[in-house]
């Protein structure tokens, strides 16, 4: 899927830049579903141009074939599985080799229990799947809150157009709560009300109302600029497009980086990152609500020499790659020895090993591996990133923005 090349990266002594961040793909992909379900005549403003959103748009525009290839987009696979289970017609959803290794049985079982007709075409429990769209009963549904929040959001998005509406009982510990809140808040903006009390979400049968919608910039993309500011000796960074009052859980990044020497100032439409002297001796955090920030914070802490203990990482093993294992392998190349336990905990206690002379960071078809490790070039000489085009999944202009900030990026064949 991605070109066979590497980027050799070196960083400037001082980083001064103003960056227009990409639109949020999480919001964009939800808005596409909601726009369709509401039969909205309004085009979505500031829609993301990333791969994950492009495959969603292509799916909606696909009138010539019932085969839909969502490539590496987990969001598209989950949201479209639920969406097409309710839309008349027969469709096949498939994706990359890695996508065929990412389990979807929890979502399929839940939807089939509501009256959907979804079959596996290869390995039971995994894509590709065949969906025959039909009316769905809705009713009561019991689902573990410890699974991917995308499963929960996918079902919630179609809940109001089921015959009985939906009463969703979330069992166990609920992870990624902000993403579920994002879904419910966006549904409300399209006219659908819900009730979330304790571990029960109730969505009555009702109609979506068309609305004009503008997508805000991506706080997860902002995290890499927080990382750059924290690692750098000197940095003045202004970010454009972020909402201070955001529906995105990853807006938490502003609070997390306070302990890593970065304060956030919202001024004249910009989010300004400034360095301070407030540096923690050890970084502790439970990432259950912000799993996509874990890679950024792991690399940041190592580059700053700050030991850390991360918890709540259980969803990282079913992302684009096993992100816990990937972090251990790639940070060892840079001289940092990490340990994991219980499938949800990652720790660096300060242990070092001999770094590779010219490390090449493998990206595992995972955009966040590339973007989290590239700033390490501020501290590591001769750093290379393999298959750098993976960033198009969420932040297509990432490398161009790094160059704008003064990074030198040289393309090499691997």
Domain boundaries, the chain: 5-22+217-413, 25-203
**Catalytic status, residue 292:** yes
Count CB neighbours of 60 within 10 A: 14
**Can you tell me the distance from the alpha carbon of 40 to that of 32, in angstroms, rounded to the nearest whole number?**
10
pTM of the model: 0.90
242/239 Cα distance (integer angstroms): 7
- How far is 153 from 82, CA to CA, in rounded Å? 9
* Residue 165 Cα distances to 82, 135, 162, 402, angstroms: 14, 12, 5, 47
Residue 42 CB-half CA count within 13 A? 15
Encoding tokens for residue 84?
A: 């097409």
User: By the 8 A CB rule, do 280 and 260 touch?
Assistant: yes
Tell me which long-range contacts 183-190 makes (C-beta under 8 A, separation of at least 24).
183/30, 183/152, 183/153, 183/156, 183/157, 184/156, 185/247, 186/27, 186/30, 186/31, 186/34, 186/247, 187/34, 187/156, 187/157, 187/160, 189/213, 190/34, 190/37, 190/38, 190/40
- Nearest Cα to 260, choosing from 280, 246, 274? 280
Of 389, 383, 334, nearest in space to 10 by CA = 383
pLDDT at residue 147 in the model: 81
Pairing of strands 200-203, 166-171: antiparallel
Q: For residues 213 and 35, is the Cβ–Cβ distance under 8 A?
A: yes
DSSP string across 22-54? PBPHHHHHHHHHHHHHTT--SPPBT---SHHHH
Find the catalytic residue in 51, 218, 292, 340: 292
Fold designation for 5-22+217-413:
UDP-n-acetylglucosamine1-carboxyvinyl-transferase; Chain (3.65.10)
User: Was domain 25-203 assigned CATH 3.30.750.210?
Assistant: no
DSSP letter (8 states) at residue 98: T
What token pair was written down for 229? 């500011």
Contact criterion met (CB below 8 Å) for 98 and 320 = yes
Full 3-state SS string of 141-199: EEEECCCCHHHHHHHHHHHHHCCCCEEEEEECCCCCHHHHHHHHHHHHHCCCCCEEECC
- Rounded Cα distance between 42 and 302, Å, is 46
- The tokens describing 276, both together, are 């301070």
> What CA–CA distances, in Å, run from 203 to 159, 189, 210?
6, 14, 18
> Dihedral (C-alpha) 143, 218, 194, 60: value to the nearest 10 degrees?
-80
Taking the chain (414 residues) in runs of 10, the rounded mean pLDDT of each run is 80 96 96 97 95 93 89 93 96 94 95 97 97 96 89 97 97 89 98 96 98 97 98 96 94 98 95 96 95 96 98 77 91 97 93 96 94 97 94 95 97 82
Give yes or no on whether 5-22+217-413 and 25-203 have one common fold: yes
Write down the pLDDT at residue 243. Answer: 93
Q: What pLDDT was estimated at residue 273?
A: 98
* Ordered alpha helix ranges (H), 38-114: 51-61, 74-86, 105-113
Q: Is 260 exposed, middle or buried (0-12, 13-18, 19+ CB in 10 A)?
A: buried
| pLDDT of 228 | 98
Q: What pLDDT does residue 1 have? A: 47
- The CA angle 67-70-74, to the nearest 5 degrees, is 140
In 3D, which of 173, 123, 108 has the Cα closest to residue 144?
Answer: 173
């Amino acid at each position: 899927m991605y070109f066979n090349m590497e980027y050799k990266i070196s960083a400037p002594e001082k980083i001064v830049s103003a960056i227009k961040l990409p639109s949020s793909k999480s919001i964009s992909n939800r808005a596409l579903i909601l726009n369709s379900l509401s039969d909205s005549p309004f085009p979505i403003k500031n829609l993301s141009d990333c791969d994950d959103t492009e495959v969603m748009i292509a799916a909606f525009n696909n009138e010539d074939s019932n085969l839909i290839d969502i490539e590496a987009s987990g969001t598209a696979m989950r949201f479209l599985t639920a969406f097409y289970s309710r839309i008349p017609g027969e469709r096949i959803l498939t994706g990359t080799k890695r996508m065929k290794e990412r389990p979807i049985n929890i979502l399929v079982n839940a939807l089939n229990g509501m009256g959907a007709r979804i079959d596996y075409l290869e390995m039971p429990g995994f894509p590709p799947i065949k969906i025959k769209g039909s009316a769905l009963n809705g009713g009561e549904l019991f689902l573990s809150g410890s699974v991917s929040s995308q499963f929960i959001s996918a079902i919630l998005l179609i809940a109001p157009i089921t015959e009985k509406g939906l009463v969703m009982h979330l069992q166990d510990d609920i992870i990624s709560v902000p993403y579920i809140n994002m879904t419910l808040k966006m549904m409300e903006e399209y006219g659908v009300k819900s009730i979330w009390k304790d571990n029960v979400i109730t969505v009555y049968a009702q109609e979506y109302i068309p609305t004009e919608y503008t997508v805000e910039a991506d706080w997860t993309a902002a995290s890499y600029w927080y990382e750059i500011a924290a690692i750098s000796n000197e940095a003045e960074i202004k970010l454009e497009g972020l909402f201070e009052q955001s529906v995105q859980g990853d807006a938490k990044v502003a609070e997390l980086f306070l302990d890593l020497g970065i304060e956030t100032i919202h001024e004249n439409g910009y989010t300004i990152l400034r360095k301070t002297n407030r540096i923690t001796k050890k970084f502790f955090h439970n990432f259950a609500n912000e799993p996509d920030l874990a890679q950024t914070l792991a690399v940041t802490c190592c580059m700053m020499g700050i030991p850390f203990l991360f918890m709540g990482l259980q969803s990282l093993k079913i992302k684009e790659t096993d992100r816990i294992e990937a972090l251990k392998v790639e940070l060892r190349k840079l001289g940092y020895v990490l340990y994991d336990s219980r499938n949800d905990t990652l720790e660096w206690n300060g242990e070092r090993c001999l770094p590779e002379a010219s490390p090449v960071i493998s990206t595992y078809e995972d955009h966040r591996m590339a973007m989290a490790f590239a700033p390490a070039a501020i501290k590591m000489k001769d750093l290379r990133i393999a298959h750098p085009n993976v960033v198009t999944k969420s932040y297509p202009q990432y490398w161009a923005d790094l160059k704008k900030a003064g990074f030198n990026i040289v393309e090499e064949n691997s």
